[in-house]
């Protein structure tokens, strides 16, 4: 079983992660991990924080001579901005409490977290609930991807909507989707890209923020990952659960998703074919690669919907938790739109779920053992 933990605050000294259950003898290329961390930081609409941070992984354990050991992999990502926050965020003694937050932002974890954990300072909530945490999950996914690459499983994503601007039709051409990083908004249609950039600029000038949607495609997934036997082993349930845990994601659909409720059965379900070269296959993929909680051998297609970022430069009405008086909410440095970045995070979260299920099916302690079972 592949498990991981993340730790760290947005303006703390480091972010950290631990991966457990990862097999031995998998070659690890740190440059690939750092490249994925850089992809997460890109995207039109990001804030000034991304000008400060240059995320790079520092592996502490579980890897020797660029190969995994089968023991827990621990790593750090430095928060370069910590030098500007040390007197406010020191774990042992805070020298300056002027960054105390008492006015929660609507739409954020601020108020619920402060009530749940009995905090007088909302900074204790927002530092951990921040999407800065996703840098760790990108690093984890990038490590995992170096395992799934051996078995020809690939993951990619592209942005399909920002605000009221969206692609006019679904594009499921994986060769085009692989080029998404060439776009500042990770949109593979130039005309739509220009409209998205204009939409972000308008929101920025208005002191507002934008959400949107992105699509994840996973190719090369063998038949039978997941299970119909138990509710918590269903692959679509595990993917939705994990993707909904990404900060700001409010909905997830697989294949036709929401649209399937409007189709007749004869229009929705993918007919089954067989030939000796392809084996079992489909001519359509409205199921999005998953049937009965299991992968069916077709590409897995997932769409995620992200709400607008709750931090606004023209803040909404709120309450001061100390005085109970009405005030406008706190303003923290933030992005105007983080959908392009979230799409990269989504890739890494999704491939981690796929890798976990792959190891359940073909499991072994070493890369060699897994490869042997996969080939049988």
Q: What pLDDT is recorded for position 50?
A: 56
Between the two ends of the chain, the Cα-to-Cα distance in Å is: 21
pLDDT at 48: 59
Alpha carbons 340 and 158: distance in angstroms, whole number: 8
What's the mean pLDDT in 332-355?
94
The whole-angstrom separation of Cα 112 and Cα 105 is 11
Residues 15-65 have pLDDT tens digits of 999 999 999 999 999 999 999 999 999 988 876 555 567 899 999 999 999
174 burial type by CB count under 10 A (0-12 exposed, 13-18 middle, 19+ buried):
middle
| Mean pLDDT, range 335-351, rounded to an integer | 97
pLDDT tens digits, residue range 51-106?
A: 567 899 999 999 999 999 999 999 999 999 999 999 999 999 998 999 999 999 99
DSSP 14: E
Angle at which helices 30-41 and 134-148 cross, to 10°: 140
Q: Decide: helix, strand or coil at residue 155.
A: strand
pTM (global) more than 0.75: yes
- pLDDT given for residue 173 in this prediction: 86
The pLDDT tens digits for 291-322 are: 999 999 999 999 999 999 988 888 889 999 99
Left (φ > 0), alpha (ψ -120 to 50) or beta: where does 50 sit?
Answer: alpha
Strands (E), 110-211: 154-162, 165-166
pLDDT tens-digit series, residues 157-177: 999 999 999 998 777 888 999
- The mean per-residue pLDDT over the stretch 330-348 comes to 90
Determine how many CB atoms are found less than 10 A away from the CB of residue 93.
6
Per CATH, the number for 3-375 is 3.60.150.10
Size of the chain, expressed as the number of residues it contains? 376
Pairing, β 290-291 against β 294-295: antiparallel
Q: Any idea of the CA torsion for 265, 167, 46, 198, to the nearest 10 degrees? A: -150
Backbone conformation region of residue 224, classed left if phi is above 0, alpha if psi is from -120 to 50, else beta: left
DSSP-assigned letter for residue 366: B
Residue 289: HSE in the Cβ half-sphere, 13 Å Cα cutoff:
25
């Amino acid at each position: 079983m592949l498990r991981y933990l993340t730790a760290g605050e947005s303006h703390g000294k480091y972010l950290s992660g631990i991966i457990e259950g990862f097999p031995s003898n998998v070659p690890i290329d740190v440059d690939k991990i750092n490249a994925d961390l850089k992809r997460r930081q890109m995207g039109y609409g990001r804030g000034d924080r991304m000008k400060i941070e240059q995320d790079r992984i520092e592996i502490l354990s579980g890897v020797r001579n660029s190969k995994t050991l089968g023991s827990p992999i621990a790593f750090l990502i430095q928060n370069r901005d910590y030098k500007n926050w040390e007197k406010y965020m020191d774990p042992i003694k805070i020298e300056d409490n002027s960054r105390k937050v008492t006015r929660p932002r609507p739409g954020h974890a601020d108020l619920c977290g402060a009530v749940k954990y009995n905090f007088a300072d909302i900074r204790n909530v927002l530092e951990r609930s921040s999407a800065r945490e996703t840098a760790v999950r990108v690093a984890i996914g990038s490590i995992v991807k170096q395992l799934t690459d051996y078995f020809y499983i690939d993951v990619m994503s592209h942005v399909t909507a920002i605000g009221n601007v969206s692609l006019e039709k679904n594009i499921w051409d994986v060769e085009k989707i692989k080029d998404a990083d060439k776009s500042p908004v990770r949109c593979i249609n130039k005309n739509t890209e220009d409209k998205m950039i204009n939409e972000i600029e308008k929101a920025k000038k208005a002191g507002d923020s934008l959400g949107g949607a992105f699509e994840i495609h996973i190719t090369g997934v063998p038949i039978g990952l997941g299970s119909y036997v138990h509710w918590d082993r269903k692959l679509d349930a595990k993917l939705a659960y994990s993707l909904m845990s990404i900060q700001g994601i409010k909905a997830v659909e697989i294949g036709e998703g929401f649209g399937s409720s409007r189709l007749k059965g004869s229009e929705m379900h993918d007919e089954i074919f067989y030939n000796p070269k392809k084996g079992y296959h489909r001519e359509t993929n409205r199921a999005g690669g998953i049937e009965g909680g299991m992968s069916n051998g077709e590409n897995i297609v997932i769409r995620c919907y992200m709400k607008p970022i709750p931090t606004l430069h023209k803040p909404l009405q709120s309450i001061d938790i100390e005085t109970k008086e009405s005030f406008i909410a706190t303003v923290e440095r933030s992005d105007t739109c983080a959908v392009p970045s979230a799409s990269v995070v989504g890739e890494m979260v999704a491939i981690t779920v796929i890798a976990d299920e792959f190891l359940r099916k073909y499991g072994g302690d070493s890369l060699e053992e897994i490869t042997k079972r996969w080939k049988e």
